[in-house]
Structure 1
């Protein structure tokens, strides 16, 4: 019993990492074309979104040093960055310089540091990958997934089929 608890705690701890975050004015320029981002895949950057410029992206975004191109498995992933008691979720759409951790907008970094981004420059954060839902990105559930949520008994299926 104690071994399984230890294994669970160890696996949870290893999922988070200590790294840094800084801001880059690039992310504050609403006119920047998304074709300039490392995760750009010839027409789309996130499935289901037709953004053309940074100003059209409604999520808090960032660059991450682990991105090596548009086919990186980290492109479009969501990360929670924690600084002190404050956490912010960012959608990874770009790369950052090797060894730099995360780069984000001045606005996002100010919200993370209590308005001290320019004063601090770069801060140590705890980061972990999280669900896309935490970044506000969620796909519409499939018809079968909706039915599974309803329950599967005759009256819930009848209600779903006749009232939705």
Structure 2
């Protein structure tokens, strides 16, 4: 009996942690991030020990899943330890979920490349402008095993 109670509590706690890792956040787009030639030295995740340029990425198009990139709430500023983090964003209305790499600072939520926002919203980024989406930090094993370490940073290399 004790072991089943302990198992039930452990299951409840793990499900609570799983649920708390998902957040609803505001998401908008910024066409600046659609430019494959955007110099990463102009972003919060430029140089410094945690910068993307330091990891060998010089322009936005060098990032492995461009244009699924943007500014994120978690990037506090220059040289943030959250530079290069990958998040799963899901637009509940369409059911579409994509990975996004954090490469700049956003005051709150996310500002994505318009192409990424269009992918999430079924081509309605300009019409919608800003909306709430479900956000989860991506972890190894997401996307049917297609999530694997990039030799320069440790985030997604290729996804479908």
Give the alignment's TM-score, normalised by structure 1.
0.73
1:91 matched to 2:101? The reply is: yes
Structure 1 spans left out of the alignment, 5+ residues: 141-164
* Partner residue in 2 for 1:45: 52
1:138 matched to 2:144? The reply is: no
Secondary structure of 1:35 counterpart: helix
The equivalent position to 2:21 in structure 1, one of 11, 15, 19, is 15
- Please say which of residues 115-124 and 53-62 is displaced more in the overlay: 53-62
* Partner residue in 2 for 1:65: 73
User: Could you tell me how far 1:72 is from its partner in structure 2?
Assistant: 1.8
* Partner residue in 2 for 1:76: 84
After superposition, the CA RMSD in angstroms is: 2.4
Count of residues in correspondence between the two structures: 137
Tell me: CA distance 1:33–1:132, structure 2 relative to 1, closer, same or farther (3 Å): farther
The equivalent position to 1:104 in structure 2, one of 100, 112, 115, is 112
Could you report, residue by residue, the CA deviation over 1:117-146 in whole angstroms, capped at 9, with x for unpaired residues? 110001111101113675866235xxxxxx
Residues 30 and 111 in structure 2, CA contact (< 8 A), matched pair in contact too: yes
User: Could you tell me how far 1:46 is from its partner in structure 2?
Assistant: 6.2
* Partner residue in 1 for 2:36: 30
Greater per-residue helix proportion: 1
Give the alignment's TM-score, normalised by structure 2.
0.74
Secondary structure of 2:28 counterpart: strand
User: Could you tell me how far 1:51 is from its partner in structure 2?
Assistant: 3.0
Query: What is the alpha-carbon distance in structure 1 between the residues aligned to residue 101 and residue 16 of structure 2?
Result: 26
